[in-house]
Amino acid sequence: MSLKRRTILQMIPAVAAMSIAPALRSQASHHVVVVGGGFAGATVAKYIKMWSAADPRVNMRVTLVEPRVAHVSCIMSNLVLNGQLKIRDLSFDYAALQGKYGVEVLQDRVQRISKDGPEIKLKNRGWLAYDSLVVATGIAFDPIEGLDDPRKTPHAWIAGGQTNLLRNQIRDIPERGTFVMSIPDKPYRCPPGPYERACLVADILQRRGSGYRVIVLDANNGIQAEKETFTRAFSELYGDIIDYRPLQRVVGVDQNSNYVHTKILTADGQETGGEDAVYGDVLNIIPRHGAPRLLVNSGLTDGGRWAPVDPTTYGSSLDRFPGVYVIGDSQATGQPKSGHMANAQAKICADAILRRAAGDSLDSDERLDNLTTNSACFSPINASEASWLTAVFRYNRDTGNMGLVPGSLGEAHNWNSENYRDMFSWSENLFADTFK
Ligand SMILES: Cc1cc2nc3c(=O)[nH]c(=O)nc-3n(C[C@H](O)[C@H](O)[C@H](O)COP(=O)(O)OP(=O)(O)OC[C@H]3O[C@@H](n4cnc5c(N)ncnc54)[C@H](O)[C@@H]3O)c2cc1C
């Protein structure tokens, strides 16, 4: 059974409805500090306040710490490249979280998570104590040799100024020029996102004339999401422009000569010893991802790339971090790194924190059997047509992990204008559910 498009549009309210309104018993006052106001952090802050307000037996204080005045959504940000959206269309401030739900918002950056007690260090305000800490800081990038100046070579994989910069570089690309982009080793944020970007850039350049090229250097052994759709789009729509090269890992960039240096890999990701150097007039190198340094330095990643968590609560699996939760792209459950997924995880985490604050059970059959998350990505293939991808995950008591629900992996059979319109309804629902 594959999921129908309408089902995707209904998924966000469906997750909210799953919200297992906890039977709260306690009067305890509980301070939750949320670090990062993106899809994961804004959702958890909003839902803890919203759900707890419905029950006078608990008193939840929620403080959201975020350095930016507004979050810029990566979702839909590839449409900034072709001028269909502006960054301001994708910017969400925290006025509703503060005014409507009573979240306290501190514009600040968390520098340290104490290993000695329940407190964090803010850049401008010193130490802040918590009862529960939710870390929702998204991703950081590995360094690449020579890739030192993001003003020259933007990744635009965290939306904002770099997205505008990349748009301008594409606008100014010389006639019959070459755009080179790279895709990092999985797991990375938004599995279909880079292929979507390749299509949109090819669409922009194709409209301009002939002779342009988009070279896609993929460190993986093939297209990672919507394989059928993108394979067809690359050959049927953009066969003259897109040159897709799997198993090429970028290891260096010369920002003066505009050459990208790659190592050629075997199908299982080992280096063959082969190398290549590829010239581009515009370079869009997306480095390999990992959890941000805040998590690595605190020990939350336990020496790995992502933070291990218990997916029934999103609490850290490490005993030394009681009361610390990690949601969104930084965590290591293996579910897709997407904003839709971050929003779903945040609700499970909010529910767990509320139950714990109230002294309620977290492992009732009813709760564990209904523990699901889902992810959806819409991919514009050109300026008026899109495809989509969706997947549902369910908690598996035997493995202790979230497993893909058999038959739930859905993919649009065609890109079309109806999907393109639905993409806006879906994203507006998600934005509203997160930030408004
Ligand atoms: C081009 C593109 C297209 C995408 N399309 C889709 C899509 O169609 N569907 C989908 O579901 N997902 C999509 N995604 C993926 C989605 O954007 C991410 O998975 C999502 O943003 C992850 O949410 P997050 O809350 O974990 O991280 P983020 O949204 O990155 O939020 C992290 C927040 O933490 C803050 N922060 C960082 N460090 C600190 C600190 N030390 N102190 C305080 N705050 C801090 C940051 O400022 C930021 O606001 C796309 C991504 C890209 C790049």
> Are residues 364 and 415 located together in one domain of the fold?
yes
> Are residues 112 and 147 located together in one domain of the fold?
no
Cut 0.85: pTM above it:
yes
Which residue, of 236, 269, 284, is where some domain finishes?
Answer: 284
Q: Is 328 in the pocket of ligand 1 (CB under 6 A)?
A: yes
> Are residues 101 and 129 located together in one domain of the fold?
yes
**18 pLDDT more than 50:** no
Q: Is 155 in the pocket of ligand 1 (CB under 6 A)?
A: no
Task: For residue 366, give the nearest of 47, 44, 7, 21 by alpha carbon.
Answer: 21
Q: Which residues pair with 372 in a beta bridge?
A: 394
Which residue, of 235, 263, 284, is where some domain finishes?
Answer: 284
Q: Mean pLDDT throughout 100-111?
A: 98
If DSSP codes are grouped into helix, strand and coil, which group holds residue 69?
coil
Beta strand extents in 259-363 (DSSP E only):
259-265, 271-279, 282-284, 289-290, 309-310, 315-316, 324-326
Sorted by sequence, the CB contacts under 8 Å of residue 405 that are 6+ apart come out as: 372, 391, 392, 393, 394
pLDDT, mean over the chain: 93
- What is the structure's pLDDT at 215? 98
pLDDT 10s digits, 294-320: 999 999 999 999 999 999 999 999 999
**Ligand 1 atom 19, closest CA:** 338
> Are residues 149 and 132 located together in one domain of the fold?
no
Q: Domains in the chain: how many in total?
A: 2
DSSP classification of residue 194: H
> Are residues 392 and 405 located together in one domain of the fold?
yes
Q: Distance from the CA of 158 to the center of ligand 1, in angstroms?
A: 7
Q: Which residues pair with 263 in a beta bridge?
A: 249, 275
**Ligand 1 atom 7, closest CA:** 377
Which residue, of 228, 259, 284, is where some domain finishes?
Answer: 284
Atom of ligand 1 at shortest range from CA of 138: 27
> Are residues 300 and 231 located together in one domain of the fold?
no
> Are residues 238 and 332 located together in one domain of the fold?
no
β-strand 91-93 against 70-72: which pairing, if any? Answer: antiparallel
Q: Which residues pair with 390 in a beta bridge?
A: 376, 410
Cis peptide before 308 (omega within 30 of 0): no
H-run or E-run covering 298: helix 293-298
> What Cα–Cα distance (Å) separates residue 36 from each residue in 140, 242, 330?
13, 36, 11
> Are residues 260 and 201 located together in one domain of the fold?
yes
**176 pLDDT more than 80:** yes
Q: Is 102 in the pocket of ligand 1 (CB under 6 A)?
A: no
pLDDT 10s digits, 183-218: 999 999 999 999 999 999 999 999 999 999 999 999
Q: Percent of the chain beyond pLDDT 70?
A: 94
Atom of ligand 1 at shortest range from CA of 78: 1
pLDDT 10s digits, 348-360: 999 999 999 998 9
Q: Is 299 in the pocket of ligand 1 (CB under 6 A)?
A: no
DSSP classification of residue 233: I
pLDDT 10s digits, 225-278: 999 999 999 999 999 999 999 999 999 999 999 999 999 999 999 999 999 999
- What is the structure's pLDDT at 28? 58
> Are residues 166 and 265 located together in one domain of the fold?
yes
Which residue's entry shows tokens 């499970």?
348
- What is the structure's pLDDT at 95? 98
> Are residues 243 and 150 located together in one domain of the fold?
yes
- What is the structure's pLDDT at 55? 76
User: CATH number, domain at 276?
Assistant: 3.50.50.60
Q: Could you tell me if 306 and 331 are in contact, meaning their C-beta atoms sit under 8 angstroms apart? A: yes
Mutate to test the pocket of ligand 1, among 74, 141, 423 (most ligand atoms within 8 A of CB): 74
Q: Is 314 in the pocket of ligand 1 (CB under 6 A)?
A: no
Residue range(s) defining the domain that contains residue 391: 5-138+291-435
**Ligand 1 atom 27, closest CA:** 138
> Are residues 125 and 170 located together in one domain of the fold?
no
Q: Could you tell me if 250 and 261 are in contact, meaning their C-beta atoms sit under 8 angstroms apart? A: yes
pLDDT 10s digits, 55-104: 777 999 999 999 999 999 999 999 999 999 999 999 999 999 999 999 99
- What is the structure's pLDDT at 24? 42
Q: Is 74 in the pocket of ligand 1 (CB under 6 A)?
A: yes
> Are residues 153 and 192 located together in one domain of the fold?
yes
DSSP classification of residue 83: T
- What is the structure's pLDDT at 57? 78
